[in-house]
Amino acid sequence: MEKFNLENISLVIGILVILIGLWGLLTQKNLIKIIIGFALFDTGIHIVMVSIGYIKNGTAPILDNAVDINNAANAVVDPVPQALVLTAIVIGLGITALMLTYVLKMYQKRKSLEINNYNDLKW
Amino acid sequence: MVGPIYIIAVALGTAFSLGFFKKANVKFSFAFMLLAMTFMTFISGQWLYAFLTQQQETIQIFTAGFKPPFSISLQMGFYEAVFLSIINIVGLLSAIYMYDKLKEKGVQMMMVFVLLFMGLNVVVMTRDIFNLFVFLEIASIATAGLIILDKSANAISAGFKYIIATAIISGILLIGIIAVYYYAESLYINDIINSNLSFIKGGAVAVFLILIAIVLELKPFPANGWALDVYEAAHPGIGTIVSAASASAVIFVLTKILPIVGESGYYIIGIIGIITFLGSNLLGLKQNTTNRLLGYSSIGQIGLLLTIIGLTPYLGDKTLFIAFGVLISHALAKAGLFWLSGIINSKNIKGWAAIRRNPHLLVLMGTFIFALVGFPPFPSFFAKWELIMQLANNDKIIWLALILIGSFIEGVYLFRWFGYAIKGENQDLPEFKIQWNKIIPVIIFALGLYAIGYYYSTLTGSAASLNYIPLLFILFLYAIDFLPVYIKNTISIAGIGYYLYTIYPGLEEFNLIFALIFLAGGILTLLAGYTYKGKRQGFYPLVMMMFAGLLGLIEANTTLEFFFAWEIMTIGSYFLIIRGKKSMTHALSYMLFSVGGAYLILAGFGLAHIGQSSYSLDILANVQGYAPIIFTLLAVGFMTKTASIGLHIWLPGAHAEAESDVSPMVSAILLKAGVFGLIVLMLRMGAQSFGSFDIYYALAWIGAITAIMGNMMAAFQEDAKRLLAYSSVGFLGYALFGLALMSHLGWLAAVSLSVIHFMFKTLLFLAIGGVVMRVKTKEMYKMGGLIKKMPFTFISVLMGIIVISGVPPLTGFGGKWILYNAVLDKGWFLPAGAIFFAGIIAFLYCFRLIHTIFLGQLKDEHREVKEAPFWMLLPQYIILGVIMIFSAFPNSLLKPIGEVIMPYFSDGALEWQGQLAVSNFGYWNGELIMYIVGGIFVIVFAWLWFMNRNAQKVKQFNIGYSAERPSLPETTHFAYNFFAPYKKALGFLVSPIISDFWEAVSEGIHAIADKIRRIYDGNAQTYVLHIIAFIVIFYLIAFGGSYGI
Amino acid sequence: MKEDFKKRTVISPEGKPIEIDPLKDYFSDAKPKVYKPAHPIIEKFANWARANSLWVLGFGTGCGAIEMRPLMTPRFDAYRYGIQWRPTPRQASVFVVSGYLSVKTLKRVVRTYEQMQNPKFVIALGSCTINGGMYWDSYNTINRLDHYMPVDVYIAGCMPRPESLLAGFDKLKTIITEGRGEGANTYAEKFDWYKANQKKVIKDWDMPDYNW
Amino acid sequence: MEFKNIGYALLTIFIVLNYGLILQGVVRKIGARVGRRYGIRWYQPYIDIIKNYAKRSTITHGVMFYIAPVFRLTGGIGLLLFMPVIFGSDIFGNFSFAGDLVLVLYFQFFGILGMALGAAESGHPYSAIGVSRGLSQVTSFELPLTLGVIAIAMQYQTLNITEIVAAQQGGFMNWTIITNPFAAIAMLIAFLGAMGRSPFDVVLAPQEIPIGPPTEFQSGLLGVLQLNRAIFPAAKLILFMNLLFGGATNWAELILKTFLIYMWPVFVGTVFPRFRVDQSVRWFLTVPLIIGIIAIILI
């Protein structure tokens, strides 16, 4: 049952969330739902990132008494992905916010949240 | 020196502090922002300067005092400096350009603007892959932030598509980055490179994800609908930034990433690149919306860059030179065009006709368009040249062909657009006014293109000998364009004359003959320019450009010089042609055939260069393989200028619609460039065949058919200048035939016919031009009876047509006689029969020309027409004098030409005994014939005069008219459809199969483009789907057969 | 007057209006000249040639025209007498007016006659040209041709047979050889009288006085 | 070239002129006899010319109109003089040292074009129509003619007419018509067109466009044209005699041969009615062209 350990489960879940997000993004016609799809996609990526950085049985990457300084590299989970995730979350937030702003503006212009109403530019 | 880190510091600081300014203080904020942008530009420029002039080492900047991978590191090397300079200059000028918009939107927009450029700067400098991601995101968000500030619904929905697409792409990138980190355990690019991820099972996928994400940022075809919408809808200033600055940054990122992928990545980049280049340009064909068209072009150019990067393994150390040449041309030209589009304010490209209200704007636009297509003297020209040479050297023929095809398609829509700008219909044009802040950036970039172009030519080893003096002269003429015609005309004539004088001693052989045709012809035709009054704006620089090109051809020793001159000539003649009335479509087809032909020549030179170290034209003499193909490519390329059958459809319209004194230039002189090219080619390459199929025999047939078709079409024209134009087509058919004979007499015929054609076609075009100037129509049937009004012009035309028809005693017969002997020598009888058939058909149009214009019935409106102006007549009579001398003393023309040909073909040369020429078959004494014919003529005339000296002069309606009398000159002048029975009998031969063919090709391609572009249905979700499909497809391609990219 | 011959104003290519008077601008208005016969010896020789080379312009105005055609056939074969047909007045020397002349036709006849070159001869065929014949009281035909142009030979009959025509040609030959065939000069000399007669019947005179 | 050449040339012109006029009369006589008439007197062409010169008045439409007959006659005389008329005779070799067969072929057009210009200046639509028809027809029969000429030039390896004639001496089996029949036939068919007799008389076409180009010419101008109508066909006959039928060593032979050659277009003309212009143009590009191509292939 090696495969059903924590990081693999979270990895699979992460990928599933990514796919669900993509599915939502591609199939929903409501702008808000599309953005939710994107948020799921983003979150999925974050989960994947964290699970990649996880080291089995590792502890939080804080150098305190719980960790032997000499063996820190093996005892803690990799701190970098966690740092990256933080940044990624911030950026994701920014993007989501911007998307919502866009939707707001679009709704003000056309009073519609239907994505098919915004196909004027094409070809 | 100011450290690069200050770029970030300044940008961030400015962005934050801008927040403190009140909205009211917008001007101050703008100045503050501008200061920051200037400072950023200054830093990058300073570093660039240091790298260029001093032995500056590449430096690494470590943040937080740690070495990587424990900190984010930035790198400032030469390339970084270059890219940063480009980006920051674009940024600075964009800021100036967008002053209105920034002022209107206030500090928020300025903040976003500065942040965007900070993002791009860091993206270029950073060596940390996650940092790269972060700042790419910042740039994307900032871009979207800029777009959202626009009011229009379209811009906002485009921005929404943009942000959705970039978000997905960055998601992919993020996954890639984390996966790479998983395998490489570092985010520092240098470490990642060292860990050779491509050879690890999952690592390859990780790297692939990063690579594909970066590529997707570059908007590859077809996953680029989101970007196109932004280009179309957003403010042109934003378009500029996305197209010039962001793309440059991401291209640089790609070059950073590629070492991680390893060698195999190049292949996939190359494929993506070429597909993008071809696909995007193809779809560009159907665009009428300016900014979207620019978008397609941008993406196409980026595709070309990707291709070049992908071809790095073959281009070797030239890659940088080539890629940078393309990039800088693209960045400057595209920025310039986007900015111009903001000034003109026309959504539709047809509305660009408004631009010609300000000719200087037109010059700017032309600069950008020609730079994009890769004309000299712009960097893209040299880059393209190097690219083709290297590809040929590495035997990448398919790549070479695809790149040329893509470039050609790009030329099609760009020149169509330019054509609308110069000559489009003059209705409902948008008003525009030029603001200083908007025009200055454009001017700076245009000048930059020239400067960098010049700089580039010094970098190209073989371009060092390029002659820029004529180009300086052109510049001088442009500078004095405000002066009246007669001053500029005199200066131009003096310039040409002086140049001829200086180079004359160095000329020999064919160069001398053609130099005389080009330059003496130039002087003669320019004499007619004194006819014009006023300023004739823009005319003289263009004329000189054409002549500079022609001169360059003569002086060229290397293939590059030759090609450079060829392109310069093309530009000049294109503008001359498009100056004419209703010349838009003709100029376009001229340009397209010229560009197509030029690419064939380029390909030919490229193939000829295989295995050669020098670029001398003499490499053609010992090519290392592909000889028949090289020959065919070059010959067809040159034949686009001689307008051989199949490639002739540009000619009639182009020549017919040109101004009176331009027609002789483009018809009598320019076409000879093709002949000159063929001579240069044939002298060096000699006999060529595909297996047992003799190419020259095919050329002879092409010449013969061209002659028949040209002459027959001439006979069926109603338009006098069109008739003359087709006559040129036919006559150059003879020349081609003569050259193809590859014998002394054949060449003697071809060269002497070229000289003669130059003379009589100048004569006729000037004469007819004079008539057209007076009667204001070109339709021959609307004229008639002008002999009594314009007797001097009539004499010119009379002599001209006697020469054309080859009737003794005038000099045209000499050509016919030599051709006969040449044919008998060679033994190609069937094409010869066709050639002589064509010669007789020439009678038809000759007669028609003189009859319908000068004879027959004078029209009401023309009863007070005056003789053509003196300055039109003067060159005609100079030429007439020369023709008479050559007629009476043929050896004064033929003997020198014969001596020139002698070293190459000595068999069957003519023997001269005084004016008696003796060949293997016959003999001919031009002087004696002149005397005999003259003598008989005088005697008979004296007899007639004696018998009928007091004949009653009557007027035009005094004709025996079946007891009735004519009532109107229009109904009595038999002129329209003059050869109706002939048309009935043989008209089917000239049914427009060829133009139909080209039209079908063109329409077919446009239809395909129209079908394909339907994939961009305007829905963000579709675009995301494209992105995902793109990834999947290229994943399959990359990992399809084997493991690893 | 026909619309096309009225004065009109057209615009020249330069945009200047031009006044056109077709009758003046398009037709020569020179008067016919009297050509003195050359030296008698030359003239005699010339007259022999003129008599033996009769180039005929047939003007088929009425039923008489039908009687000219047989002259070309093997039965009558006028060619053997040096009589040949010519399709244009410019080159013909004998003008055969065959039959009655309506006023409208007269105009054309006069014009054609004037377009022939001196010396020229006229043969009037049939009674109608002598006194109007069966149309003598028609409101619309002229009665005597030689009021309008000098006639050298009248061939009477309604219609005269081809044989009479041949006889007429023979008569003409005699006249020419004797040097009496000076109709063209007569016409020039009495030009005013002829014109007056012509204008009397032709009401809508819309051509120059002499049609070269 | 010496001055006596000019005298010889005048003698040639005189003989050929008379011959041409008589030939004209005789041929018309023959035509009449075929139609069961007596026809004109054989010397009728002389009288006609004298008559035309004896006309007292002349009109002219302009300079080109006035000198067109000069062009025409110069063309005819020049064509004659650039050929050796009698083979082996110094006197009647004329100016054939000035140029070869190509000169002769192209000099034909000198007169044609000059005439066309003058006729066109008359402003008469029939003149222009006639020229249009004439040029159309010329283009099409020149093709078989050219092919034939090339074949003959290759056969004898020269363009020198004297040498071509010399090569045909020694019995009729050496004549080109025997030795190179296809070329000869192609050229003879083209000759039909060159002579402009029915069925190829589309230019003059008296019943349609009263004699076409010369329709406005009269008096002395017409007289000059008539002189040319005597000389030009004779010159063409002599050309074809020289090329195809072994030339002539004396005047008797010349007269006999040219007369017989002339019978060819005369017979054809007597039998066939006139083609339409387009029919004529097309016809020359069918059978005669194929024969010409065969001649070329057989070289």
D182-222 pLDDT tens trace: 888 998 888 888 888 878 888 877 777 777 788 888 888 88
- How far is CA B196 from each of CA B133, B260, B263, B264, B1045, rounded to the nearest angstrom? 21, 7, 11, 12, 12
Residue B572 lies in a domain: yes
- A14 touches B at CB < 8 Å: no
Q: What is the CA radius of gyration of chain B?
A: 32
| pLDDT band, very low/low/confident/very high, at B462 (cuts 50, 70, 90) | low
Nearest CB partner across the interface for D39, out of C79, C88, C119: C79
Closest C-alpha among D161, D243, D105, D245 to residue B921:
D161
Q: What is the pLDDT of residues B29-73, one digit of tens each?
A: 888 889 999 999 999 999 888 888 888 888 888 877 777 777 788
Stretch B475-482: mean pLDDT = 85
pLDDT at residue number B463: 61
Which chain B residue has its CA at the smallest distance from C17's CA?
B861
Residue A123 lies in a domain: no
Angle at B894 between CA B893 and CA B897, to 5 degrees: 95
| pLDDT band, very low/low/confident/very high, at D108 (cuts 50, 70, 90) | confident
Residue A43 lies in a domain: yes
Q: Which residue has the higher pLDDT, B444 or A2?
A: B444
Q: What is the pLDDT of residues D158-171, one digit of tens each?
A: 888 888 888 888 88
pLDDT at residue number B89: 92
Instruction: Please report, for chain C, the start and end positions of each structural domain, with discontinuous segments joined by +.
Output: 53-178+185-200
Which chain D residue has its CA at the smallest distance from C33's CA?
D57
Domain count, chain A: 1
Which chain B residue has its CA at the smallest distance from A28's CA?
B1021
Q: What is the CA radius of gyration of chain A?
A: 20
- C80 touches D at CB < 8 Å: yes
- Bridge partners (DSSP) of residue B652 are none
Average pLDDT, chain D: 86
First to last CA, chain D: 36
pLDDT at residue number B250: 92
In this structure, the number of other CB atoms found within 10 A of the CB of residue A36 comes to 16
**Which chain D residues contact residue C73 at CB under 8 A?**
37
Nearest CB partner across the interface for A45, out of B145, B159, B175: B175
Decide which of B94, B127, B160 is a domain's last residue: B127
Question: What is the phi/psi pair of residue D57, to 5°?
Answer: -110, 155
| pLDDT band, very low/low/confident/very high, at B1044 (cuts 50, 70, 90) | very low
E strand or H helix at B237: helix B236-240
pLDDT at residue number B277: 92
Residue B515 lies in a domain: yes
Residue B689 lies in a domain: yes
* Boundaries of domain holding D128: 3-297
Question: What percent of chain B clears pLDDT 90, i.e. is strictly above it?
Answer: 15
Residue B159 lies in a domain: no
Contact call for B865 and C12, based on CB within 8 A? yes
- By mean pLDDT, which of A45-59, B289-303, B517-531, B786-800 is the weakest? A45-59
DSSP calls for B763-776 = HHHHHHHHHHHHH-
Residue B77 lies in a domain: yes
Counted across chains A and B, CB pairs separated by less than 8 A come out at 122
Residue B358 lies in a domain: no
Stretch B92-107: mean pLDDT = 87
pLDDT at residue number B1043: 46
For D64-79, give one letter per residue: b (16+ CB within 10 A) or e. Answer: bbbbbbbbbbbbbbbb
Q: What is the pLDDT of residues C108-141, one digit of tens each?
A: 888 889 888 888 899 988 888 888 888 888 888 8
* Boundaries of domain holding B78: 1-127
Flag whether D touches A (3+ CB pairs, 8 A cutoff): no
Q: What is the pLDDT of residues B570-599, one digit of tens each?
A: 888 888 888 888 888 888 888 888 899 999
Contact call for B157 and A122, based on CB within 8 A? no
pLDDT at residue number B1045: 42
Average pLDDT, chain C: 87
pLDDT at residue number B93: 92
* Boundaries of domain holding A16: 2-118
Contact call for C212 and B960, based on CB within 8 A? no
Residue B737 lies in a domain: yes
Average pLDDT, chain B: 86
SS (H, E, C) B954-981: CCCCCCCECCECCCCHHHHCCCCCCCHH
Stretch D127-135: mean pLDDT = 87
SS (H, E, C) chain A: CHHHCHHHHHHHHHHHHHHHHHHHHHHCCEHHHHHHHHHHHHHHHHHHHHHHHCCCCCECCCCCCCCCHHHHHHHECCHHHHHHHHHHHHHHHHHHHHHHHHHHHHHHHHCCCEHHHHCCCCC
Decide which of B127, B152, B175 is a domain's last residue: B127
Domain count, chain D: 1
Nearest CB partner across the interface for D216, out of C90, C119, C184: C90
**Which chain D residues contact residue C52 at CB under 8 A?**
44, 47, 51
Nearest CB partner across the interface for C212, out of B776, B954, B963: B954
Q: What is the pLDDT of residues B535-549, one digit of tens each?
A: 888 888 888 888 888
Substitution target in D36, D41, D42, D57 with the highest count of C β-carbons within 10 Å is: D57
The domain that holds A88 is classified in CATH as 1.10.287.3510
Stretch B83-89: mean pLDDT = 91
pLDDT at residue number B1004: 92
Nearest CB partner across the interface for D100, out of B830, B922, B972: B922
Enter the tokens of residue D153.
Answer: 């030039």
Å from B717 to nearest chain D CA? 14
Å from C106 to nearest chain B CA? 10
**Which chain B residues contact residue D74 at CB under 8 A?**
933, 936-937, 940
Rounded CA gap, B147 and B101, in Å? 11
Å from B518 to nearest chain C CA? 34
Å from D199 to nearest chain C CA? 19
Contact call for C12 and B864, based on CB within 8 A? yes
- C77 touches D at CB < 8 Å: yes
Q: What is the pLDDT of residues A20-65, one digit of tens each?
A: 999 998 898 898 999 999 999 999 998 888 887 776 666 777 777 7
Stretch B891-903: mean pLDDT = 85
Stretch B359-380: mean pLDDT = 88
Stretch B676-683: mean pLDDT = 88
| pLDDT band, very low/low/confident/very high, at C64 (cuts 50, 70, 90) | confident
Stretch B455-483: mean pLDDT = 80
Contact call for B178 and A122, based on CB within 8 A? no
Question: Domain C53-178+185-200 is in which class?
Answer: alpha beta
Alpha-carbon dihedral angle through residues B492, B493, B496, B502, given to the nearest 10 degrees: -120
Stretch B357-361: mean pLDDT = 84
**Which chain D residues contact residue C187 at CB under 8 A?**
none
Q: A residues 48-67 near B, CB within 8 Å?
A: 48-49, 52-53
Domain count, chain B: 2
For residue B612, pLDDT beyond 90 = no
- C69 touches D at CB < 8 Å: no
Task: List residues in chain B touching A: CB distance below 8 A.
Answer: 130, 134, 137, 141, 144-145, 148, 153-154, 156-160, 163-164, 167-168, 170-171, 174-175, 177-179, 181-182, 187, 225, 228-229, 232-233, 286, 1013-1014, 1016-1021, 1024-1025, 1028
Counted across chains B and D, CB pairs separated by less than 8 A come out at 249
Name residues whose C-beta falls within 8 Å of residue D129's C-beta, 6 or more positions apart in sequence: B974, D209, D212
pLDDT at residue number B881: 92
Name residues whose C-beta falls within 8 Å of residue B422's C-beta, 6 or more positions apart in sequence: B353, B356, B362, B578, B584, B587
pLDDT at residue number B422: 86
Substitution target in C6, C7, C12, C86 with the highest count of B β-carbons within 10 Å is: C12
Rounded CA gap, D222 and C93, in Å? 13
Rounded CA gap, C170 and C80, in Å? 12
Substitution target in B716, B813, B843 with the highest count of D β-carbons within 10 Å is: B843
Nearest CB partner across the interface for B851, out of D110, D120, D216: D120
pLDDT at residue number A73: 66
**Contact partners of C by the rule of 3+ C-beta pairs under 8 A?**
B, D
Provide ipTM, 2 decimals: 0.88
Q: Which residue has the higher pLDDT, B818 or A58?
A: B818
- C46 touches D at CB < 8 Å: yes
pLDDT at residue number D53: 87
